[in-house]
Amino acid sequence: MTRRTTSTRQQVEVSGIVLLKQHLERYGALLRAKWASR
């Protein structure tokens, strides 16, 4: 039981970090495009 909860928690943390990275990359690309257009 405990092992299962820890593994799921780690998976959630990892997926959250991945989503954050993707979001930051998209945001950075948008900012670069805006600066380039200026």
pLDDT by residue, tens only, the chain of 38 residues: 567 777 888 888 999 999 999 999 999 999 999 999 87
Rounded to whole angstroms, the Cα distance separating 13 from 19 reads 10
- State the alpha helices, DSSP H only, in the chain: 2-37
What predicted TM-score, i.e. pTM, was given to this entire model? 0.57
Q: Which two tokens stand for residue 9?
A: 């928690």
